[in-house]
Structure 1
Amino acid sequence: MRIESINRVKTDEILAKNILTNEGQVLLRSGVRLNQLYIDKLKKLGVFYVYIYDDRLDDIGVEDEKLMELKQSAIKSMNGIIKNIHSCNGKEFKKSLYNVENLIDYIIDNADVNSSLYDIQTYDNYTFVHCLDTCIMSTFLGITCKYNQFDIKKLGMAGILHDIGKIEIPIEILNKNGKLTNDEFAEMKKHPTYGVKLLKKIVLIPDSVIKAVGQHHERVDGKGYPCGLVSHQISNFAKIICICDVYDAVSNDRCYRKKFSPNDAYELILAGSGTSFDEDTVENFKNTFSVYPLGCCVRLSDGVEGYVVRQNKGFPDRPVVRVLYDINTHNPVPFYEVNLMKNTNIVITKVAN
């Protein structure tokens, strides 16, 4: 399958991966043949990319249905998690977290990072989706860091809860379409502290989770908030969640700005190593996540377009690209592959859209 810009999708092409609503419900199921009505509707809903079946790329993995099911259950649990934190109902809160824990367990035992992070969703409820994405990324990064299963579950829990303090922030500040005033930004910067206060009321939540929630906006050079902590004062969980939070945030559209390109989002993390972000954690990030997802169409510096079919571990911006057609005529060609690790004079210049 391939990832295709909605503007490049043709009628009668077949959807290869489910499209979700913000509540985790299936909006369009894989296997549907797309018509113009579906395509126009997806555009209106803000879906910019879809996965399309393509037998020339049939070696790119199909959807992990079990993982998708667990993600949907986790998203649906978010309302219960927030409700029970607000009411300080520890027993019901634990029940609400059950689906999240099942998702983390599955990732530890079965999930492939290259096929786990790139769902196609409508983003009406950005906060829920962002918290889930941060949880999933943090879990994969915890695996790379060789944490044991108990610590990974606590790390994932901190990821899903990292922005819980935002429920105390006025909605007009959270959803403001434009730059925050100094006073509004000062209020926004309190959400880690609000999160700590809320979570301390639930006796079942480990201290390591609460500390990570309170510190996820701290920076190793001391220029973060709310306390201006420096590297050795920041928990390892917080250092991981900090990176995953920033990367996911800039990779998605927000009401006040457009998302970064994949390469720009990745470079933001790498450029912050040693200042904003812990150096060892950035190195683990680099060895865990790739810039361009499998099936993504990219333009190369020699003018050729192709689709990412394999990753080169440790070199996130230099995958293997399969060329399927002539860029000028768009006629199919006998496909061939360009390994950017071997063709060092060629680079990816953009994601084709």
Structure 2
Amino acid sequence: MRRVSIEKVQSGMRLAKSIYSEDGQVLLGTGVELKETYIERLRNFNISEIYIEDELSKDIDVKDVINDRTRQEAKTLIRNIMEECKNTSQFTSDKVKGMVNHIIDELLANKDILINLSDLKTVDDYTFAHSVNVCVLSLITGIKLGLNQLRLRDLGVGALLHDIGKIVIPENILKKPARLDDNEFNVIKTHTTLGYDIVKNNPNISASSAYIVLAHHERYDGSGYPLCIKGDNIHLFARIVAIADVYDALTSDRVYRKKVKVHEVIEYITTLGEHHFDKTIVECFLENIAVYPVGTGVILSTGEKGIIVDVNKRFPARPIVRVVCNPDGSRKNAFEEIDLTKTLNIMIRDTCEI
């Protein structure tokens, strides 16, 4: 399978990965042949990308670190919790812990898989999908750091709930299709303290989990909010979630901008690791990220185009590429797979649509 933007999808293409609605229902299932009416429906749901299966991408398997059912159940859970809090400012926490424990079990079973972020988020369900991704990214980092099961659970609970304060933020600000002005940004910033007020008195939420909700926008150099603390004065969990939060936000489509390419986000976070983030955690975090995710189209230094077939855990910037197009854009008669760890004279120049 390979990832294709909705603008490039054509009638007759075959869907390789199921598409879900905001409430977790299957909109289109794996294997469906796409018709113009289906493609239009996807556009109406603000779905910007899908996975397709064709001759170019035959036998390419995009593996997620957690399964689709778990991801959808987690999104539905956080959605329900936020709806619950809108009405009562309270929520049932037992299900959160159970979900986090389940995610931890799946991650421990798949800990050698680099993160491909194969989840197809829509602009409309961004908050819920983002919460789950931040939880997964944070837990993988926590596992890499050697946290025990109890600490992983507290980290995961806080990460899953980190944006719960956004239920109090007006929709016109949260979904504004343009950059926020200073006053609006100040309103957005209150989601940390508002969220903390929601979770801190829940007897089943630990202090360290609640602290994540409060402090995930603190920065290592003291430039964050709401407490403006710096360095190791910021709890380890909040330092982890801060990186996961920025990474997933930048690699996601938003109402006011398109997502940033993964390798560009990695460069950005690496640079910020000197100031905004804990450098040690940044290094640990990035060890688990596929720089060029499986199913992504790339341009090689030869001018040829290919699709990422697999990633190398030890050398994530040098994956295995299936070369499918000549430098002039014409389709190759026979596809060739190149392991860039063994072909050092060829490099990836950029990602692209194929």
Identify whether the pair has TM-score above 0.5, normalized to the shorter chain.
yes
Aligned letter for 1:77? L
CA positional deviation for 1:302: 1.9
Aligned letter for 1:258? K
After the TM superposition, which residues 153-232 of structure 1 pair with which residues of structure 2 at under 5 Å, given as runs? 153-232=153-232
2:266 alignment partner in structure 1:
266
1:52 alignment partner in structure 2:
52
Structure-1 separation of matches of 2:4 and 2:18: 14
Judged with a 3 Å threshold, the aligned counterparts in structure 2 of structure 1 residues 24 and 330 are, in CA distance, closer, same or farther, namely: farther
Higher alpha-carbon deviation: 277-286 or 93-102: 93-102
Higher alpha-carbon deviation: 164-173 or 41-50: 41-50
1:78-125: CA deviations, max 9, x gaps?
Answer: 2332245453546x3323553344233322334664476212243312
Instruction: Assess if the C-alpha contact under 8 Å between 2:115 and 2:290 holds in 1.
Output: no
Aligned letter for 1:251? T
Could you say what secondary structure the match of 1:7 adopts? helix
1:280 alignment partner in structure 2:
280
1:312-349: CA deviations, max 9, x gaps?
Answer: 22433322211124353633332222333344443323
Higher alpha-carbon deviation: 284-293 or 117-126: 117-126
Q: Percent identity?
A: 38
Matched, 1:146 2:126: no
1:346 alignment partner in structure 2:
346
CA positional deviation for 1:187: 2.1
2:28 alignment partner in structure 1:
28
2:123 alignment partner in structure 1:
123
Could you say what secondary structure the match of 1:43 adopts? helix
Structure-2 separation of matches of 1:53 and 1:181: 43
Instruction: Assess if the C-alpha contact under 8 Å between 2:116 and 2:293 holds in 1.
Output: no
1:74 alignment partner in structure 2:
74
Aligned letter for 2:313? K
CA positional deviation for 1:133: 1.2
CA positional deviation for 1:203: 1.1
Normalised to the residue count of structure 2, the TM-score between the two structures is 0.90
Could you say what secondary structure the match of 1:241 adopts? helix
Could you say what secondary structure the match of 1:180 adopts? coil
Judged with a 3 Å threshold, the aligned counterparts in structure 2 of structure 1 residues 85 and 18 are, in CA distance, closer, same or farther, namely: same
Structure-1 separation of matches of 2:66 and 2:331: 37
Instruction: Assess if the C-alpha contact under 8 Å between 2:303 and 2:326 holds in 1.
Output: no
Could you say what secondary structure the match of 1:197 adopts? helix
Structure-1 separation of matches of 2:243 and 2:66: 27
1:154-211: CA deviations, max 9, x gaps?
Answer: 2111111111112222222222222323222222222211121111120110111111
1:234 alignment partner in structure 2:
234
Extract unaligned runs of 5+ from structure 1: none
Instruction: Assess if the C-alpha contact under 8 Å between 2:299 and 2:352 holds in 1.
Output: yes
CA positional deviation for 1:237: 0.9
Instruction: Assess if the C-alpha contact under 8 Å between 1:20 and 1:122 holds in 2.
Output: no
Judged with a 3 Å threshold, the aligned counterparts in structure 2 of structure 1 residues 79 and 62 are, in CA distance, closer, same or farther, namely: closer
CA positional deviation for 1:62: 5.9
Extract unaligned runs of 5+ from structure 2: none
Structure-2 separation of matches of 1:338 and 1:116: 19
Structure-2 separation of matches of 1:162 and 1:119: 19
CA positional deviation for 1:8: 3.5
Structure-2 separation of matches of 1:249 and 1:62: 21
Aligned letter for 1:12? G
Structure-1 separation of matches of 2:153 and 2:95: 15
Aligned letter for 2:281? T
Could you say what secondary structure the match of 1:323 adopts? strand
Instruction: Assess if the C-alpha contact under 8 Å between 1:175 and 1:255 holds in 2.
Output: yes
Instruction: Assess if the C-alpha contact under 8 Å between 2:243 and 2:277 holds in 1.
Output: yes
After the TM superposition, which residues 288-303 of structure 1 pair with which residues of structure 2 at under 5 Å, given as runs? 288-303=288-303
Instruction: Assess if the C-alpha contact under 8 Å between 2:302 and 2:327 holds in 1.
Output: no
Could you say what secondary structure the match of 1:120 adopts? coil
Judged with a 3 Å threshold, the aligned counterparts in structure 2 of structure 1 residues 20 and 306 are, in CA distance, closer, same or farther, namely: same
Structure-2 separation of matches of 1:83 and 1:46: 22
CA positional deviation for 1:225: 0.9
After the TM superposition, which residues 323-342 of structure 1 pair with which residues of structure 2 at under 5 Å, given as runs? 323-328=323-328, 330-342=330-342
